[in-house]
Amino acid sequence: MHNLSKSYGSTKAVDGLSFTIHPGRVTGFLGANGAGKSTTMRMMLGLARPSTGHVLIDGVPYQHLTRPLTKVGALLETRSAHPGRRAYQHLRWLAQSNNIPASRVEAVLEEVGLQNEKSKRAKGFSLGMAQRLAIAAALLGDPPILLLDEPVNGLDPEGIIWIRELMKSLAAQGRTVFVSSHLLGEMANTAEHLIVIDHGRVLADTTVSAFIGESTSLEDAYLRVIQR
Amino acid sequence: MIRAELTKIRTLRSTFWVFLATFALCVGLGFLIGLSFRNIADAGADSLFASFYAVTLGQIALVVFGVFVISSEYSSGTIHASLAATPRRGRFFLAKLAATTPVVLVLSLVTIVSMFFAARAGLGPRAVPFDARGVAGATVYLTLICLFATGVATMLRSAAGSLAILLPLLFLGSQGLGNIPKVKTITQYLPDQTAWVIMHLTGPPGSAQFERPYGPWTGLALTALWTLAALLGGYAVLRKRDV
Ligand SMILES: Nc1ncnc2c1ncn2[C@@H]1O[C@H](COP(=O)(O)OP(=O)(O)OP(=O)(O)O)[C@@H](O)[C@H]1O
Ligand SMILES: [Mg+2]
């Protein structure tokens, strides 16, 4: 990602971000509300057009990927299934759009623990169930790169532990896992590497242990960086 | 990709209801209009007009479908998933149109043929022989106006906004405003009214009031141009704007 910026009118949501995300580890993307995390991730997927700069995924822009779901799995919105569609129907059209075998639909439903709710319409889903369906959609293409915007949002304690372990195991398989959050405790438990942004600018791009450094905890270190 | 769009169409319950409404309105009204024309003493009353007039009302349901095809993506947030799966916006739009068009064309054909025969049954002794050109024209028209609605909805993104434009436009036509001399100069070029000649909705030939400066096929081509313009406008907006 190079010199990425996005302005909405006079607001600079993202202001000259440059960083590289590496495979094989969980990279946490930290920042306050409105820091520009979601906007950055939308630009990574070509959903929003950057005002300046660009994002390359293995050397090419997302728009140039053929069967992008098999390369990048993304969770951007908790509720992106049409309320009238059943869980498996939502995953089915996604699979068809990228020539992903239909068997993956069942596999990911099982993986996220929705096999008993698969015939329910999305409108009847709780926040946590909707989040699980969104995670299933991200995993559908068995992608080597995962972009997750606040995946913990809405999950119960069991779900939080599950997603934490899932992210770690995906990274251990050599995948790239890029996850935004403002839950510092969660990041301290999951991520190895951190990218901290504020007002659309990078404040830190370092390992978790180097980031904490002298501070007593990740929270402490974060507040110090933010207030600087 | 087209298969995915077909699955989307199939898995929305509203699809079934608007298709049923389109069919029921055209066929039901076609029969009733035929029936009401059967007993009109006026020999000049046009049986062909009666055979096709129901389209002006039945089309409303199909226009709603044309709008929903795209507005439901925005209202539900599915557009994010759609464009993440198919990031080339032109391809996404083409796949959607390629899935929608044949489905709508088949529905239109079945509806129009049924409507024609329902109207004929209603007309009884005043029935007219099968009018292949009219039936073909009405079928193509119904498909075109549905796609026109999709184009408008792609530009505006909201169902409410799109219907607020489309419904008055179409009611204007069905209420016969197109035949008031002064207003006609302009309204005869609206996307629905250009197809009236081929559907015999401009009244019996020869009467000056109903005269149009274009023929049946030219009129239908004008509707197609409107549809093309709306779709191109939709594509331009889809390409340019963030989601
Ligand atoms: N579509 C939009 N139109 C106008 N402003 C926007 C839009 N999207 C985001 N913004 C603005 O851009 C800034 C960054 O927003 P963004 O959603 O990227 O933050 P975030 O880091 O994801 O925050 P959160 O932690 O609350 O999810 C905010 O000031 C926001 O108001
Ligand atoms: Mg956000």
Q: What is the pLDDT of residues B206-239, one digit of tens each?
A: 665 567 787 788 888 889 999 999 999 999 999 9
Between B184 and B51, name the one with better pLDDT: B51
Q: What percent of chain B has pLDDT over 90?
A: 56
**How far is residue B166's CA from residue B202's CA, in Å, rounded to a whole number?**
21
Confidence at residue B194, expressed as pLDDT on a 0 to 100 scale: 82
Residue B156 Cα to chain centre, angstroms: 19
Pocket test for ligand 1, best of A4, A7, A11, A41 (most atoms within 8 A of CB): A11
Strand A26-30 versus strand A11-17 pairing type = unpaired
Q: Which among A216, A225, A172 is positioned nearest to A196, based on CA atoms?
A: A225
Q: Measured in Å, how far apart are chain A's first and last C-alpha atoms?
A: 25
Which residues have any ligand 1 atom within 6 Å of their CB? A 8, 11, 13, 31, 33-39, 182
Long-range CB contacts (within 8 A, 24+) of A14-18: A14/A39, A14/A40, A14/A43, A14/A50, A14/A200, A15/A199, A15/A200, A15/A201, A16/A52, A16/A53, A16/A200, A16/A201, A17/A53, A17/A197, A17/A200, A17/A201, A17/A202, A18/A53, A18/A202
Using the atom order of ligand 1, give the atom closest to the CA of residue A182.
25
Q: Which residues surround ligand 2, an ion (CB under 5 A)?
A: A 38
Amino acid code (one letter) for B55: V
Instruction: Give, for ligand 1, the residue of A37, A147, A197 to mutate: max count of ligand atoms closer than 8 Å to Cβ.
Output: A37
> Which parts of chain A are beta strand (E)?
2-8, 11-17, 26-30, 52-54, 72-75, 145-149, 176-181, 193-198, 201-207
How distant is the Cα of B96 from the closest Cα of chain A, in angstroms?
11
Ligand 2 centroid, distance to A35 Cα (angstroms): 8
Distance CA A200, CA A153 (A): 22
pLDDT in tens, B23-63: 999 999 999 988 888 877 665 557 778 888 889 899 999 99
Dist. CA A208–CA B102, nearest whole Å: 55
Q: Is B105 on the interface with A (CB under 8 A)?
A: no
**B interface test, pick of A72, A91, A96, A119 with most B CB neighbours within 10 Å:** A96
Lowest mean pLDDT among A5-14, A105-114, B233-242: A5-14
What is the pLDDT at residue B186?
75
Residue B77 CA, ligand 1 centroid: distance in Å:
16
* Residue with CA at minimum distance from ligand 1 atom 17: A38
Predicted local confidence at residue B203, as pLDDT: 65
The region of weakest confidence among A37-51, A200-214, B64-78, B111-125 is: A200-214
Ligand 1: nearest atom to the Cα of A200: 14
**Residue B53, token pair as written in the block:** 């007039």
Question: What ranges in B39-131 are assigned the alpha helix state H?
Answer: 47-52, 55-76, 78-85, 89-123
- In this prediction, residue B185 has a pLDDT band, given cuts at 50, 70 and 90, of confident
Contact B120, B51 (CB under 8 A): yes
At B209 the pLDDT is: 59
Distance from CA of B218 to the nearest CA of A (A): 38
Chain B residues within an 8 Å CB radius of A42: 242
Q: Which residue has the higher pLDDT, B94 or B242?
A: B94
ipTM above 0.90, yes or no: yes
Residue B179 pLDDT: 59
Q: How large is the average pLDDT for residues A100-126?
A: 94
Instruction: Summarize pLDDT for B126-182 with one digit per residue, the tens.
Output: 878 888 888 998 999 999 999 999 999 999 999 999 999 999 888 776 565 555 666
Mean pLDDT (whole number) for A81-105: 96
The rounded Å distance from CA B168 to ligand 1 centre is 37
Per-residue pLDDT band for A94 (boundaries 50, 70, 90) equals very high
pLDDT of residue B204: 62
* Chain B residue with minimum CA distance to A93: B4
**B237 — alpha (psi -120 to 50), left (phi > 0) or beta?**
alpha
A139-198 tens-digit pLDDT: 999 999 999 999 998 889 999 999 999 999 999 999 999 999 888 888 888 999 999 999
pLDDT at A48 over 60: yes
What is the widest separation between alpha-carbon atoms in chain B? 62
Note whether A92 contacts B: Cβ–Cβ < 8 A: yes
**Range A190-211 average pLDDT:** 88
**Given the CA of residue A36, which atom of ligand 1 is nearest to it?**
18
Strands A72-75 and A11-17: unpaired
Query: Which of A40, A44, A82 has the most B C-beta neighbours within 10 Å, making it the best mutation to test the interface with B?
Result: A82
Of A13-17, A84-88, A222-226, B61-65, the poorest mean pLDDT is in: A222-226
Mean pLDDT for A101-112 is 96
If you take atom 8 of ligand 1, which residue's CA is the nearest one? Answer: A39
Of B208 and A204, the structure prediction assigns the larger pLDDT to A204
Which one of A80, A108, A120 would you mutate to disrupt binding with B, by most B Cβ within 10 Å of its Cβ? A80
Annotated domain spans of chain A: 79-142
At B43 the pLDDT is 57
Residue B82, chain A, CB below 8 Å: the answer is yes
Query: Can you give the C-alpha Rg of chain A in angstroms?
Result: 17
For A64-76, what is the mean pLDDT?
95
Ligand 1, atom 11: closest residue by C-alpha: A13
